[in-house]
A and B are shown apart, each in its own frame.
Chain A
Amino acid sequence: MIETLVFYMFAIICVASGVLVVTARNPVNSVLFLILAFFNAGGLFVLAGAEFIAMLLIIVYVGAVAVLFMFVVMMLDVTVTELKQGFTKYLPIGLLVTVIFAVEVLGATVAWHMAPEAAANIQAATPAADAVSNTSALGKIIYTNYAYLFQAAGLVLLVAMIGAIVLTHRKRRDSKKQVIAKQLARKASEAVELKKVETGRGI
């Protein structure tokens, strides 16, 4: 009973704040609503018994991603009116696509059934859910059965890092940068010129 109530609370706030992210006039408010949506989604995960993903959602999405969004929004000075241009123009077709898609997904899920073998297939992959906590269950498979995927994910992140550096890092010709090696390699003969000045004549 209480669980159902909590579920509906989380679910309703989550969807409502999702709508507000799109409709809020101030982009900063949008980001704040996004954080609220993340928190409630985290709550839903806890209800589903996936406490590890819930914590991950809060730490990664609220702690890092949403804060990054906030920085971007504040530094880029986005004007909402510009972003909202064409919103009403594309609304009808957007709604049409949404409705068609929603009907299709509903149609697909209402008539849903799992293959009888599915339960056995799921159990083969992970340790029993009631025997261990989420975190240790994940830990047991992520470095063993899923080591290949773990390494591949590491490579994807490496590419992301290289990409960010390649596309944004550049040497500015106009900025004066200190290069210690250059300074040390400089000889006195290159830097100082000795002039013999005759008395009373000036340079």
Chain B
Amino acid sequence: MPMAEVPNIVPALPEIFLALAAMTLLMLGVFQKPVTPDGELRAARTTTNLGLITMVLALLLVFTVSGNVLVTFEGMFISDPFATFAKVLILIASTFSLMMAQRWLEQQHAHRFEFAVLVILATLGMMMMVSASNLLSLYMGLELQSLSLYVLAAFQRDDVRSTESGLKYFVLGAMASAFLLYGSSLVYGFTGTTDFATIAATIKAQDHHFPTGLAVGLVFVMAGLAFKVSAVPFHMWTPDVYEGAPTPVTSFFAVAPKVAALALFLRVMMGPFGEMAHQWQGIVVLLSILSMSIGAFAAIAQVNIKRMMAYSSIGHVGYALMGLAVANEQGVTGVLIYLAIYVFMNVGVFACILAMRRGDRMVESIYDLAGLAKSHPGMAAALAVFMFSMAGIPPLAGFFGKLYIFLAAIEAQLYTLAIIGVLTSVVSAYYYLRIIKIMYFDEAEADHLETPLPNVIAAVLGVCSAVIVLFFLVPAPLITTAGAAAASLF
């Protein structure tokens, strides 16, 4: 019998490193953890700090292996500029989330060393998702990510809302996975393979004579993915999970998994099913319109800021899907630029939410922000920048994110979609600007929020607002890398 060849592991080095680091940190936490509460705190801090170093090293590794298109593990794993772009965003988002989490967890007495380990494993799952070039590796990455996220949602297990959100997310997420698997099996039944490139070649050879079954399979795959990006009508879980989960976990949910799932959505639609674009374009248009509308209108009624951000993220997914509906290189470039800006806006907003603290307890109502301009002028200014940016007001970065997507939609003659996008973004401006009005013009009823701002939060706020404000001065690096990343998909 011939010896099996050892696969080339170089393209997957960042993933392998993260997996090993996660296991090492787990061991470290388990063996370091003495019985005293003091030791518990020490173990949690050590794993978080080492976890942050791990993320930064993984980021360096991603840059090291970037550049060429490398396929390995029998075509299951692909490392191309598109994957690199998504991985860099994911790692940045995860690093910010982990950085801000520790202090909050300590204050809530929910600090445990497993938190950092689970965040790293979730990040690993996301990186595997964006590097998947096979339906099987797609599913494994997705499950690794989802399972870690279910546990993270229920992390504050003495809190009823946290456990409820974990359970809800788990049950609905398992159903979405089932849809995805059913769809994958139909696709496999038609093409006889799970490899993206072979699926694309097989579909192309049919010259548009697909059976209904393949279309049904495609729709099921899309339903599963739409659940993961929380596009309407698969968004029901989002507000409840965002509200119930511990705030650092919500801030993680709002950025990294969104980027990963959207990148995966792009790759699956453009790669294996690129030839069927006219079949799925209509579905994506519908998803996009519904997400933008529900995201804009439902957020108006929200008082809880985490719930509001959940609807806001649904709306943002709608805009990103508009770029997918265009189904060409320009559209994908638009989505990637949008995602990069979205990460910084959301990290910034959640840094503010994590700092909303009065006395011993966290507050989550938007009216708790009243009078913020007087007590925390810096934080109020940063939050105002993020809100203006989300509303899409020039010259902030959020405007350019929307601009590229709308331009792509108009050039592809999807006028209805672009017009609805503009209208819903006007509607959503109402609730973004309302936050600014509350901060600057309403009188504080109760005591001020906690002063002074923690150093970590202040640093994150500074970095994110600088990126958002100054983006228009040097947009070229992001636009060229996003363009190169999008080009590698076609």
Counting chain B CB atoms within 10 Å of each CB, the highest count among A104, A109, A117, A171 belongs to A117
A63 to B388, CA, bound (A): 59
A152–B140 CB distance below 8 A: yes
Mask for B37-80, Cβ within 8 A of A = 1, else 0? 00000000000000000000000000000000000011011000
A108–B186 CB distance below 8 A: yes
Closest to A115 in B: B202
Query: A111 with B211: in contact, given A162-B117, A162-B151 (CB under 8 Å)?
Result: yes
A114–B190 CB distance below 8 A: yes
Q: Specify which chain B residues have a CB less than 8 angstroms from the CB of A167 in the assembled complex.
A: 151, 154, 157, 166
Closest to B166 in A: A167
Least Cβ distance of B212 to chain A in Å? 5
- The reply to whether the CB of A145 lies closer than 8 angstroms to some CB of chain B is yes
Binding site for A on B (CB under 8 A): 4, 7, 12, 19, 23, 26, 35, 73-74, 76-77, 112, 114, 117-118, 121, 124, 128, 136-137, 140-141, 143-144, 147-148, 150-151, 154-155, 157, 166, 186, 189-193, 198, 201-203, 205-206, 211-213, 216
- The reply to whether the CB of A87 lies closer than 8 angstroms to some CB of chain B is no
Counting chain A CB atoms within 10 Å of each CB, the highest count among B7, B137, B140, B192 belongs to B192
Binding site for B on A (CB under 8 A): 104-105, 107-109, 111-122, 124-125, 143-149, 151-153, 155-156, 158-160, 162-163, 165-167, 171, 179
Taking a contact as CB atoms closer than 8 A, the residue among B74, B144, B191 that contacts A115 in the complex is B191
Q: Specify which chain B residues have a CB less than 8 angstroms from the CB of A149 in the assembled complex.
A: 76, 136-137, 140
Query: A156 with B143: in contact, given A113-B211, A162-B151, A167-B154 (CB under 8 Å)?
Result: yes
Taking a contact as CB atoms closer than 8 A, the residue among A112, A122, A155 that contacts B211 in the complex is A112
Q: Specify which chain A residues have a CB less than 8 angstroms from the CB of B23 in the assembled complex.
A: 158
Query: A146 with B205: in contact, given A112-B213, A118-B190, A156-B140 (CB under 8 Å)?
Result: no
Taking a contact as CB atoms closer than 8 A, the residue among B7, B77, B140, B191 that contacts A121 in the complex is B191
A152–B213 CB distance below 8 A: no
Q: Specify which chain A residues have a CB less than 8 angstroms from the CB of B77 in the assembled complex.
A: 148
Closest to B5 in A: A144
Query: A155 with B121: in contact, given A107-B212, A121-B192, A162-B151 (CB under 8 Å)?
Result: yes
B74–A146 CB distance below 8 A: yes
Query: A155 with B192: in contact, given A107-B212, A167-B157 (CB under 8 Å)?
Result: no
A122–B193 CB distance below 8 A: yes
A-B contact pairs, 9 of them (CB 8 A): A117-B202, A118-B190, A118-B191, A148-B137, A149-B136, A152-B144, A159-B147, A159-B148, A167-B166
A159–B121 CB distance below 8 A: yes
Least Cβ distance of A20 to chain B in Å? 23
A104 to B217, CA, bound (A): 12
A163–B4 CB distance below 8 A: no
Q: Specify which chain A residues have a CB less than 8 angstroms from the CB of B148 in the assembled complex.
A: 159, 163
A158 to B155, CA, bound (A): 17
Query: A155 with B114: in contact, given A112-B213, A122-B192, A125-B193 (CB under 8 Å)?
Result: no
Least Cβ distance of B77 to chain A in Å? 6
A121–B213 CB distance below 8 A: no
Closest to A143 in B: B4
A136 to B15, CA, bound (A): 30
A192 to B285, CA, bound (A): 79
Q: Please classify the interface of chain B as helix (H, G, I), strand (E, B), loop, or mixed, using the class held by over half of its residues.
A: helix
A121–B198 CB distance below 8 A: yes
A155–B186 CB distance below 8 A: no
Q: Specify which chain B residues have a CB less than 8 angstroms from the CB of A112 in the assembled complex.
A: 189, 211, 213
Counting chain B CB atoms within 10 Å of each CB, the highest count among A111, A124, A143, A167 belongs to A167
A114–B144 CB distance below 8 A: no
Q: Specify which chain B residues have a CB less than 8 angstroms from the CB of A125 in the assembled complex.
A: 193
Q: Specify which chain A residues have a CB less than 8 angstroms from the CB of B118 in the assembled complex.
A: 159, 162-163, 166
A155–B144 CB distance below 8 A: yes
Least Cβ distance of A182 to chain B in Å? 8
Counting chain B CB atoms within 10 Å of each CB, the highest count among A108, A152, A165 belongs to A152
Least Cβ distance of A180 to chain B in Å? 12
Closest to A141 in B: B74
Counting chain B CB atoms within 10 Å of each CB, the highest count among A115, A120, A167 belongs to A115
A115–B206 CB distance below 8 A: yes
Closest to B210 in A: A115
A117 to B12, CA, bound (A): 30
Q: Specify which chain A residues have a CB less than 8 angstroms from the CB of B12 in the assembled complex.
A: 148
Contacts A146-B74, A165-B114 supplied; 9 other A-B pairs, CB < 8 Å? A115-B206, A118-B192, A122-B193, A145-B74, A147-B7, A156-B144, A159-B144, A163-B118, A163-B147
Q: Specify which chain A residues have a CB less than 8 angstroms from the CB of B112 in the assembled complex.
A: 166
Query: A115 with B7: in contact, given A108-B216, A155-B19 (CB under 8 Å)?
Result: no
Closest to B147 in A: A159
A108–B212 CB distance below 8 A: yes
Q: Specify which chain B residues have a CB less than 8 angstroms from the CB of A109 in the assembled complex.
A: 213
Q: Specify which chain A residues have a CB less than 8 angstroms from the CB of B157 in the assembled complex.
A: 166-167
Listed from nearest, the 4 A-B pairs whose CB atoms lie closest are A118-B192, A121-B192, A163-B151, A148-B73
Least Cβ distance of B47 to chain A in Å? 12
Q: Specify which chain B residues have a CB less than 8 angstroms from the CB of A122 in the assembled complex.
A: 192-193
A32 to B117, CA, bound (A): 39
Q: Specify which chain B residues have a CB less than 8 angstroms from the CB of A120 in the assembled complex.
A: 192
Least Cβ distance of B207 to chain A in Å? 11
Taking a contact as CB atoms closer than 8 A, the residue among A121, A145, A179 that contacts B193 in the complex is A121
B128–A111 CB distance below 8 A: no
Q: Specify which chain A residues have a CB less than 8 angstroms from the CB of B144 in the assembled complex.
A: 152, 155-156, 159
A115 to B121, CA, bound (A): 38
A122 to B141, CA, bound (A): 23
B19–A117 CB distance below 8 A: no
Taking a contact as CB atoms closer than 8 A, the residue among B140, B155, B189 that contacts A153 in the complex is B140
A122 to B77, CA, bound (A): 19
Q: Specify which chain B residues have a CB less than 8 angstroms from the CB of A144 in the assembled complex.
A: 4
Least Cβ distance of A126 to chain B in Å? 11
A104–B140 CB distance below 8 A: no
Q: Specify which chain B residues have a CB less than 8 angstroms from the CB of A116 in the assembled complex.
A: 205
Least Cβ distance of B114 to chain A in Å? 5
Least Cβ distance of B264 to chain A in Å? 15
Taking a contact as CB atoms closer than 8 A, the residue among B73, B128, B150, B202 that contacts A147 in the complex is B73
